[in-house]
Structures are given as structure tokens and as C-alpha cells.
Structure 1
């Protein structure tokens, strides 16, 4: 049976890996079309490359060597003939399929500013998006000569990039038109605390004002003009204003699309049951989170369903239990796949579940907060009954660790939820939720990949003795990297034959 996968990014490559691992009967011959000419890589960590915490080679993801797998890198799918069941690539080759998986992802959104350029491929010198490995390489090269950098957009990526540029010695100003930074995760009070933390890092900001153009000198960027008339000097501009889902192939073939390619719970198009969509390009009934954990979970489910000969989703934790705006009133998403952690050196921000400026009012939910913008600290919890259904933490790392544990494990809260806000009372508490060695075996440690403590312990029992060996055996730490400290602690405590004189390696 022939299956064609369009897209060789984080989700497409993971689907292929899962499919071939599950296809013990040798049911499928797989062809992958990848627009980028390189191996698949961890796009989530591109901002860490800008910050100098990772080199580009460390981002490469594995591609299985398999006799039934053909990967065509640098080959873009340009046409889809659903009647003939053929995908045509940019080289004019025709690839026949019995089933088709679209994992076309998204591209950087470029705002319509005068002289900026209409798309990522036409930006003027000095202006960059950050969506591909080439983008990261170009931004790092630009920092060697840049003095003043401006970042458009104060979402997760924009703030991570801003901190990375500051770490490389650039003067940085973040420009964000919304009233709050990271408004999907933070409200105004949390944003003010974050602004205070940024000021201590030497990062300036213009929140509540957008850019309406740029200035050029001899065809190269020299400044960014704001809506109020202020001009920020800039020889480097990074655009981090979100993404646009790539539905062009699906739409041209007559498949229903909205924000993404419309699919059912089984991830199949309602117009063509032979065509599936996963990852950023998919629009399932519950919506998309924009997080890689959801795409990876979709890849796992679809691979299991196809190799089992059923179009129905298989049992298991699903990122689809939550929409883009947060979990249902009944509780958080399975495995905490909607936990957002800012990977920005010097900024400590974690948000989960019900949070952000646009969250709906619900009389059945209680909100408690402690806010100290001057100290760059803000903690808010949202409680339904005796369960935590949302939280926002700025500048409160230990509290955030406890709240993530309570949220993902759905543990009962203290009788007075105010205890969740007061790190000074931590010593009086009887639970040890933040200690990974105290977790039950079924507790999720790596949320991106759904790896439990028990799976990590099993890998250590089978002979793994380092972080890298655990990552190869379980995939833990290979997503956003936010679980690395917890996995290192488990290696330190549970590896039976590890040389205790050698520290556990971390990045």
C-alpha cells in the first residue's frame, strides 16, 4: 500500500517514524516530500540557536533507514490530483498514493508594512523571520555587525528571540501592538510583571503600539517607524508576528479548509477519506494549540490507526482534549499538552490551561493572584472545584514547577488554594510534587512526547546511563527541552550503574 507524506518537518517526520515502527506487517511503502533540502530538525529550538545555547547540528531529528521509505528532500508538492490519486512535485515527478498525509505546517506571517517585503522570501536586507534553519543561521550571522535590533511581536517566539539577541550583545527593543505581551497566555497584570523583568535584562519595549513602516538607507534597514511617529534605530529587525497555515495544496485540490485543512476526529478530510492532515496545517474539531505536542500526538494516533486497519482514533492521551483557548471546564488537557514555557534566558514564564487576556468569564471558576510587578513576579491560579484548571507564573520558578505538576497530574488542591501562591509556605507543605523522583510511574515528565516517569525508569533499568541515552530510548527532552532538569534528576537518582563521580550532562 502506498502512502505519501507531504512535509518532512517535526510532525511529518515523526509520523513516518511512528508508522514504520508500528507497521510490523510491512503494509506500507512510504514516500516523503520535504520542501527543505536538509534533514528534519527541531524547529522549537531555533530561538535557542539564536541565543547560542544550541548549535544547528544539535537540532537534527532522526530519519529511519528503512527499505520501504523514500525521502525526497528539497522537493515541494505543487499539485494534488485526488481523482487520479497523484501528488506532483517541483521536479515534475508524479507520486501515486493509496493514502495521503498532509503535514505542510505553516510559514512566517509577514505584516503589511511599507517597504518590508510581502513574504519571507522577499524581505529587505536586515529584516528576517525565524521559521527555518536558514533563518536562524542568517540571524546569528547578522548579530556580528548589528548594534540595534528590533523584534516585532511579543509572543513566545518574539520574547525568546529578544532575549537571545540581548545575550549576543545587541541592544533590543520589542514592539507589540496588543495591550499585553504574550496576550494568549498573559493578562495585563502578568504582562506588567514581565515588562519589569525585561527591563532588568536591558530589553526595551513598546507595548500597545504597532509598527507602520521601516526606513531604508541605500536599500538596507536603518530604522522602524511606529504608529505614533517614533522611529527606532535598527540595523536588524526580526519579525515574530505569528504564522500562516499552509493550506495551498489542499485548497487547490478542493479539500475543505478554514484556518487549516478541515479534518474529523480521525484526522481524515470529510471530503476525501484517503487524505489526512496533522500538525499545524490541520484543523480538527477541537481546534489547534499551535504546540508541537499536539502534532506529535496526532502523528502517533494516526500511525496506530492506519496500521491497525481502522480509521478511528486509538486509545491514549490526546492533545485534542483541549482547544486553542484552553481546556474545557472539566479540567486540563491530557498530559498537560497545553503547558507553555518561555525558553528565554533571564525570563521565567510558564502558563497553562485557562489563562490570557481573552479568557471567558466562568462563575464556577475561582481566580487567585499574587502580583508584584516591581519585582517582576506574578502568580495566578484558576481553580474549578478542587482542581487546578489554569495558571500563570512570571518570575516564580519553583511555584511554577509545583503548579505544572498539580495541573498535569490533576491532583486535589489544598483546602485553601491560596497556599499555591505562597512560596514562603512551601516548607510547610507535605506534598513533593515538584520533585520528579517522587512522582508515580504513570506521571508525565516530558509533555511534548508524553513520556512518563515509568518509561524513563524502564530505560534506565535497561542500561541507559546518560541524558542522551534516555532521550534516544524514550524521546524525552527532544521537544521544547523544558523537562531536561527533571530527566537529569531521574538519571541521577535511578540509573543503577551510573558513575556517580560524573555529573549528568545537560545542554
Structure 2
């Protein structure tokens, strides 16, 4: 059968890898159509590249070398004829399919701000999004001469981008019109603690005020005028105001779309031969925008198409797919499950919090029955590690849930649930990829002796990167305690 995949990014490339690994009977010949001319890469870590903690080459994802795989890089799909089952590319070539997977992703959303449209859809000099490798390169180059930067949007990406620019030595103002930073994950109290820590790392927060216009002279950005009348001088602007799903080809093909292509729990669109996964898809449970959800969709669809298991999804409550860890130097933020100021009230849930703004610390836990169903941790890295372990492993909480907060009072105490020797073999270390301690131990026993070796063998650290410290700690422990690999 002819399987065509439109999109060769994080989710599309993972789906191809998964389907070929499971297609042991040789059912599919796979053709991938990818608009970018490079190998697939981990765009989740682009802010880490800007910060200087990763180089661009380390973001490249492994691509399978398979006799039944054809990858067309630097080629864009122009149209899908669902009746004839043909995908036409911009170079005029035609690719017939028996089944089609849309993994077209999303693009950075540029707000309709006066001054940003420089004609022909181009942006003024000094204005950038952060969505592609080219974006990262351009931002790094711009920091060499920038005197002052502004970041629009204080979601996860905006805060990570602001931190990255500050680490490059560029003072940053982050502008966010909502009443709380990261309002999808943080309430006002948690946001206040996070905001109070920002000036210590070179970031000035402006919360509850938006951007009114970009000030441009001779085609070059010189500042941002805010809705309260203040003008922030700036020669570098990074726009982090969300993404827009790439729906053009799906919409033109007559597939039902809202914020994304409408799909069922198995990723199927209104056409039983066409599927959608990743940022371009809108599943019944809603899209989170997190890479773990897209990879879960890729795995489940690969299993469905190859008949290797049931297509049912795991329960996301406590699965670890919704754990958010902000990658920002000096700003320690971890959230999971039920969190944020806009969450609906549920009388079955009990919320306990410890807020200590003077110490730069805020911890909140949400308990339902004997399970932790959500948590927010700002400035409390060790208790966050314990709570993530309890959340993802669905560990029963103490009879008095207040004990979950006690570690926040003793940040120098060791993490009982996170130390390698006490970590169960089935504990998930890399939540994006579902890699357990046992998986890493097995790879180590087979000769993996570096983080890069473990990543190649298990995919650990290749998602959001938040597990890198845990993997390094486990690797150090394995080097000391594990037996040497058996000679071959």
C-alpha cells in the first residue's frame, strides 16, 4: 500500500519511524513530503540554542534508512485530490496514496500590530518569530548588536525566549496582556512569584499591558508602544504570541477544520483514508501544543495502521503528557495536570498551597481522592521532582495532603523519590518518550556510556529536554553501580 505523509517535522518524522518499525510484513511503501530542506530537528529546543546551551547540530533527529522509504526534502504539497487519491507538489509531481497522513504542523502567529507588516508579508528588520532553525540563527545574529530586546507573549515559549536573550547579555522586557504570566498554567499568585524573580535574571516583566504598535524607522525596529502609552526602546523583537495550525491544504481538500483538522480518537478525519496528527490536528480531547501529545498520536496511529495493537489512547490524567517544565535559567517553573487560574471548579478536588513570594517560592497541589491530579511549582525544584514522580506514577497521596508541601520547606533535603537508587525500574524518566529507568539501564548494559548514546538507544532527552539532568544523574549512578556490559 502507498502511504504518503505530508510533513517531516517532529511528529511526522516520528510517525514514519514508528510505522516502519512496526510494519514487519512490508505492508507500506512510504513517501514523505517535507517543506524544509534539512533533516527533521527538535524545534522544542530552539530556545536552548538561542541561550547557547545547545548547538544547532545537536537538534537533528535520527532519520530511518529504509528501502521502502522515500523522503522528499525541500518539497511542498500543493493540493490533495481526495477523489483520485493524489497529492500534487509545488514542483508538479504527483504522488498517489492509499492512505494519507497530514502532519503539517503550525506556524508562528504574528499579531496584526501596526508597524509589523512591512509590505509583502515581510517583517521589519529586528523582528523575529522563533519557530524554525533559520529563526534561531537570525535571532542569535541579531543579539550581537542588539542593545535592548522585547518579547511579546509570556507563555512557555515567550519566557524561554526572554531567558535565552538575557543569557546572551541582552536586557529584555517581556510584554503580556493577560493578568498572569503563563496563564494557562499559572494563577495570579504563582505568576506574581515568577515575575518577582525575573529582574534577577535580566528580564523586566510588563503584565496586564499589551503592545499597541511597533515603531519602525527606515524599515528597522526602534521600539514598541504599549497600550498604556509607554514606549519601550528596542532594536530586537521576538514574537511569541502562539501558533496557527497549517490547515491550507486540508481546508482546500474539503476536510472539516476548526482550530485544527477535526479527527477522531484514532486520528481519522472525515475521510477514512486521511489522518491528521500533531499541531495541525484537533482531537476530541483538545490539542495541548505539547510534543508528547503529538508523539502519542504518532505512535497510536502507527499501531492502528499496522495492526500491532489497539488504537486506544492512554489516560492522560497522570500520564505525564501534560507535564510542563520551563527551560529558563534562574526561573524554575514546573506544572502538571490541573493548574492555572482559569480551571473549572470541581468540588471533588482539594487544593493546598504554600506561597512565599519573599523567598521566590510557590507550590500548589490539587488532590482528588487519594491521587495527585495537578500541581504548580515555582522556585521549588526539588519538591517539583517529587510531585512529578507522584503524578506520573499515580502514587497514593498521604492521608493529610499537606505533607506533599513539606519538602518545599526544606529545599536542601534529598529527593527521596528522585534518587537513582530509590527509583523503581518502571519509573518514567523521559516523559515525552515514555522512557523508564529500566530502558536506560538496559541501554547502559548494552554499552551506552554517554547521554548521546542513551538518546540514540532510547530517545530520552530528545523531547522537551527537561529530563536531561535526571538522565545524567542516572548515568553517573549506572557507571558506578551497574555491572560492565557482557563481552560479545
Judge conservation of contact 2:363–2:408 (CA < 8 Å) in 1: no
Map residues 80-229 of structure 1 onto 2, 5 A cutoff.
80-117=80-117, 122-229=122-229
**Which residue pairs with 1:440 in the alignment?**
424
Pair 1:348-2:343 in alignment: no
The alpha-carbon distance between structure 1 residues 118 and 441, as it changes in their structure 2 partners (threshold 3 A), is farther
**Which residue pairs with 2:271 in the alignment?**
272
Runs of 4+ in 1 over 3 A off after TM superposition: 118-121, 424-431, 495-499
Give per-residue Cα distances to partners, 1:156-200, cap 9 Å, x unaligned: 000001011011111100000000000000000000000111021
**Which residue pairs with 2:311 in the alignment?**
313
Pair 1:491-2:475 in alignment: yes
The two structures have a TM-score, normalised by structure 1, of 0.92
**Which residue pairs with 1:327 in the alignment?**
none
Which stretch has the larger CA shift, 144-153 or 442-451?
Answer: 442-451
Compute the displacement of 1:217 (Å): 1.5
Cα distance in 1 between the residues matched to 2:202 and 2:155: 18
Which stretch has the larger CA shift, 110-119 or 6-15?
Answer: 110-119
Judge conservation of contact 1:196–1:375 (CA < 8 Å) in 2: no
Cα distance in 2 between the residues matched to 1:447 and 1:39: 24
Secondary structure of the residue aligned to 2:173 is: strand
| Structure 2: 5+ residue stretches without partners | none
The alpha-carbon distance between structure 1 residues 430 and 111, as it changes in their structure 2 partners (threshold 3 A), is closer
Give per-residue Cα distances to partners, 1:253-285, cap 9 Å, x unaligned: 11111111111111111x211101111111111
**Which residue pairs with 2:365 in the alignment?**
381
Which stretch has the larger CA shift, 412-421 or 427-436?
Answer: 427-436
The alpha-carbon distance between structure 1 residues 165 and 63, as it changes in their structure 2 partners (threshold 3 A), is same
Cα distance in 2 between the residues matched to 1:428 and 1:397: 10
Compute the displacement of 1:93 (Å): 0.8
1:367 aligned to 351, 355, 358, which one?
351
The alignment of Structure 1 onto Structure 2 pairs a total of residues equal to 483
Cα distance in 1 between the residues matched to 2:409 and 2:151: 39
Cα distance in 2 between the residues matched to 1:340 and 1:362: 22
Give per-residue Cα distances to partners, 1:188-214, cap 9 Å, x unaligned: 000000011102112111100000101
Secondary structure of the residue aligned to 1:272 is: coil
Give per-residue Cα distances to partners, 1:282-303, cap 9 Å, x unaligned: 1111111110001111111111
Cα distance in 1 between the residues matched to 2:405 and 2:464: 26
**Which residue pairs with 2:43 in the alignment?**
43
Judge conservation of contact 1:10–1:43 (CA < 8 Å) in 2: yes
Cα distance in 2 between the residues matched to 1:123 and 1:418: 51
Pair 1:243-2:236 in alignment: no
Compute the displacement of 1:489 (Å): 2.1
Instruction: Report the RMSD for the aligned CA atoms in angstroms.
Output: 2.0
Judge conservation of contact 2:36–2:74 (CA < 8 Å) in 1: yes
The two structures have a TM-score, normalised by structure 2, of 0.95
**Which residue pairs with 1:297 in the alignment?**
296
Judge conservation of contact 2:116–2:214 (CA < 8 Å) in 1: yes
Cα distance in 1 between the residues matched to 2:203 and 2:68: 51
Give per-residue Cα distances to partners, 1:140-165, cap 9 Å, x unaligned: 00000100100000000000010110
Secondary structure of the residue aligned to 1:422 is: helix
Which stretch has the larger CA shift, 365-374 or 132-141?
Answer: 365-374
Cα distance in 1 between the residues matched to 2:38 and 2:469: 30
Cα distance in 2 between the residues matched to 1:482 and 1:384: 26
Cα distance in 2 between the residues matched to 1:493 and 1:192: 38
The alpha-carbon distance between structure 1 residues 63 and 358, as it changes in their structure 2 partners (threshold 3 A), is same
Give per-residue Cα distances to partners, 1:336-362, cap 9 Å, x unaligned: 110000001111000000001210111
**Which residue pairs with 1:54 in the alignment?**
54
Cα distance in 2 between the residues matched to 1:240 and 1:383: 32
The alpha-carbon distance between structure 1 residues 51 and 431, as it changes in their structure 2 partners (threshold 3 A), is closer
| Structure 1: 5+ residue stretches without partners | 323-331, 500-507
Cα distance in 1 between the residues matched to 2:119 and 2:28: 37
Which stretch has the larger CA shift, 71-80 or 456-465?
Answer: 456-465
1:464 aligned to 448, 451, 455, which one?
448
Which stretch has the larger CA shift, 460-469 or 59-68?
Answer: 460-469
